Structure 1
Amino acid sequence: MPTGLPASGDPAARARVELPRLPAAGPLYRRALLNAVPGLGGRRGETVPAVELAVSGVPVDPERLADYDRVCGFRLADRLPATFPHVMGFPLALRLITAPEFPIPLTAVVHVGNRITVRRPVTVTDRLDFTTWAENLRPHDRGRQVDVVLVGSVGGEEVWRGVSTYLGRQRTPDGGERRDHGERPPPPAVTARWPVTLRVGTDYARVSGDHNPIHTSRLGARLLGFPRPIAHGMWSKARCLAALESRLPDAYTVDVAFKLPVPLPGAVAFSATPLDSGWDFSLHDRRGRPHLVGTIR
Structure 2
Amino acid sequence: MPTEELSESPNLGALYLKAAGTTPLRRAGRDAELPYSEYVRSGITIDREHLAAYNRLCGFGTRDELPLTYPHITSFPLAVRLMTDRDFPYPLVGLVHVANRITRHEPVSVTDSMTQRVRLANQRRHPKGQQFDVITETSVDDRLVWSETSTYLRRGASDDSVPRPEGIPEVTAEAPTAAWRLPANLGRRYAAVSGDRNPIHLHPLTAKAFGFPRTIAHGMWSKARCLAAFEGRLPDACTVEVEFAKPVLLPSEVRFTEQPGESDAAKLFALHSTSGKPHLKGRLHGLAE
Fold-level similarity (TM above 0.5): yes
Q: CA deviation at 1:246?
A: 1.4
Counterpart amino acid of 2:147? R
In structure 2, the residue matched to 1:231 is: 217
- Number of residues of Structure 1 aligned to a counterpart in Structure 2: 270
Q: How does 1:108-187 map to 2 (within 5 A)?
A: 108-170=94-156, 186-187=172-173
Superposition pairs of residues 260-279 of structure 1, within 5 angstroms: 260-275=246-261, 276-279=264-267
Runs of 4+ in 1 over 3 A off after TM superposition: 42-45
Distance in 2, Cα, partners of 1:171 & 1:226: 21
In the other structure, the counterpart of 1:10 is none
- Relative to the length of structure 2, the TM-score reads 0.90
* Equivalence for 2:45: 59
Q: Which residue, out of 90, 104, 112, partners 1:104?
A: 90
Shift of 1:43: 5.1
Output the amino acid matched with 2:247.
P
Q: Does 1:21 align with 2:8?
A: yes
Instruction: Give SS of 1:246's match.
Output: coil
Structure 2 distance, partners of 1:48, 1:65, is 33
CA distance in 2: counterparts of 1:246 and 1:199, whole angstroms: 28
Structure 1's unaligned 5+ residue stretches are: 1-13, 173-183
Counterpart of 1:206 in structure 2 is 192
The match for 2:76 is 90
Q: Structure 2 unaligned segments of length 5 or more: list them.
A: 159-169
Amino acid at match of 1:98: T
- Contact 1:284-1:291 at 8 Å conserved across structures: yes
Distance 1:148 1:78, change over 3 A: same
Contact 1:116 1:255 in 2 (8 A): yes
Displacement of 1:277 in angstroms is 2.0
The one-character-per-residue Cα deviations of 1:14-43 (angstroms, maximum 9, x if unpaired) are: 21111121111111000000012x3xx355
For 2:164, the equivalent position in structure 1 comes to none
Check 1:187–1:42 CA distance in 2 against 1; reply closer, same or farther (3 A cut): closer
Query: SS of 2:68's equivalent?
Result: coil
Secondary structure of the 2:20 match is helix
**Counterpart residue number, 1:292:** 280
| Contact 1:72/1:235 (8 A) holds in 2 | yes
Report percent identity of matched pairs: 48
Please tell me whether the aligned partners of residues 78 and 124 of structure 1 are also in contact (alpha carbons under 8 angstroms): yes
TM-score (normalizing by structure 1):
0.87
**Partner amino acid, structure 2, of 1:290:** P
